[in-house]
Structure 1
């Protein structure tokens, strides 16, 4: 994804969702207008752009959604070139208006449920909230209030983090997409997590130098604005962070 005149200009789509046999659904919940200032809105939408870039490079792309895209979010997205004619499902409705409530699994750090597998009968929700930890537990609270299913990524079971337990929106998306490829959480986490943030559990060993792992990165070098570790590291400490899920 290239940036021109301050807006995102995605390269031509390589793989289209409609042609994919992959029915796994991932949705970004963008219905947090009351919790973010303009700069944080832009940061969240920028991260959605990185997610889109990863998905379009995957030879078997996921079914990718953005929900809660109301007039305010649409205007901000337009100002930075997000969405447009992108090959993704952009919905104005909230997640329970787009999906059956029984299908929803909201990813949130506080959940006692550890995500073990991905089920294409479910839809996995990533909270599109950039809040500098001002609203910790908000997504979990919403899931409980609405009666949604919820789960957390198995990060603690596979590695130790050296720094704060936060992930960007695109970190979470890329972990899911890499798990879909590898069917191995540890490999998916190794591929995506910034190296300086993680410390593998010594009992599990460290195969981060395994060439097979490196091959699974989503062709990052093809595009300066895509989801390379360096790109994701730049702002994860002080800016574009969501709660660890």
Structure 2
């Protein structure tokens, strides 16, 4: 039956290509040998701590993953116990399929980072071998990691000790209330925020407030996505379980950024404390109120302001709810030069300022084919396993 299905899909695909008819999917949806192995299964220790019902759910999810791995090459090489914990929390087959693809993309990014680090190490070794040898005067030696880290630390210490940069505080009270996928995406943004701030020539005094380090969900994030929080040798943000009462002596200088605020932020000053809600930007979250950041500012009794996005950016597509990194970069740019328009041009993706008629039609068509490909995979699995289970 599978061979017949494969032949039909390939025949249809080649026929459309021969007649130059636009394809419905990005590639033929065919059955392949399974990619799933023992490295994808949860450990026996993990399963021993689950209930009987949870173990049955694990078995059903393994059946799904087996079929995912046969229909899409975008499948992770392994799945850890902490990632299995996320799979158990996900409520739909589509969300589990999206999580598998997310883990695949994460692996690819990690592989690319490892490759770049290796290239740096090899380049540094070659540079060190050339020290003392005759090289053209215009060639500069690649700076070693010690000097890079030294200057990064120097800038950070100056920002904190001299108080010559604004405080950027991330309100983490929402983190444990997000969906598993939202929690993971937000944690990745927080990790990127730490890394980018450390590397930036103009770093913030970065704080994480309302950070519940005893919460099991957040502890899992520290193991999988927020690893630098646990590294004592890495310069991290100041992390506290306390909320905005941390700044009670400077309450007049605290500004909570919220898209629902009525007044706009006018400037970004070194002596102010700018608070952003640690909430994923992409999708609505059932556990988070619609006006969560505004309500948080009112509860803490601090000023709420919104970025003047509508005044400087003509949004034609996408959401006006920006990523944590985008908000941080806008604040940084305005703090440096005061030009909101220039800052938003740097931080807001071009895709948000282009209408449908301005976008690349080939790219749009490719996205539709990818979507159709994924939908076909889910249909095949529904036919094989029956409708989704809860």
TM-score (norm 2): 0.46
- In structure 2, the CA distance between the partners of 1:61 and 1:89, relative to structure 1 (3 Å rule), is same
* Equivalent in the alignment of 1:140: 294
CA contact (8 A) 1:44 1:129 kept: yes
Gap regions ≥5 residues in structure 2:
1-107, 118-144, 355-390
1:138-191 deviation digits (Å, cap 9, x = unpaired)? 110121232111101111111111122221111111111122233211111000
Matched, 1:26 2:135: no
Gap regions ≥5 residues in structure 1:
200-245
Matched, 1:98 2:249: no
Q: SS at the partner of 1:113?
A: coil
CA contact (8 A) 1:107 1:124 kept: yes
- Within a 5 Å distance, the mapping from 1:146-225 to structure 2 comes to 146-163=300-317, 164-198=319-353
State the number of aligned residues.
Answer: 198
User: 215, 222, 225: which one pairs with 1:77?
Assistant: 222
Runs of 4+ with >6 A deviation: none
User: 20, 45, 59: which one pairs with 2:187?
Assistant: 45
How far apart, CA to CA, are the structure 1 residues paired with 2:110 and 2:295?
39
How far apart, CA to CA, are the structure 2 residues paired with 1:139 and 1:112?
13
How far apart, CA to CA, are the structure 2 residues paired with 1:126 and 1:112?
16
- In structure 2, the CA distance between the partners of 1:42 and 1:34, relative to structure 1 (3 Å rule), is closer
1:180-226 deviation digits (Å, cap 9, x = unpaired)? 23321111100010001026xxxxxxxxxxxxxxxxxxxxxxxxxxx
Single out whichever of 80-89 and 113-122 deviates more from structure 2. Answer: 80-89
- In structure 2, the CA distance between the partners of 1:111 and 1:174, relative to structure 1 (3 Å rule), is same
How far apart, CA to CA, are the structure 2 residues paired with 1:68 and 1:38?
19
RMSD (CA atoms): 2.9
User: 266, 276, 279: which one pairs with 1:129?
Assistant: 279
* Equivalent in the alignment of 2:177: 35
Structure exhibiting the larger radius of gyration computed from Cα positions: 2
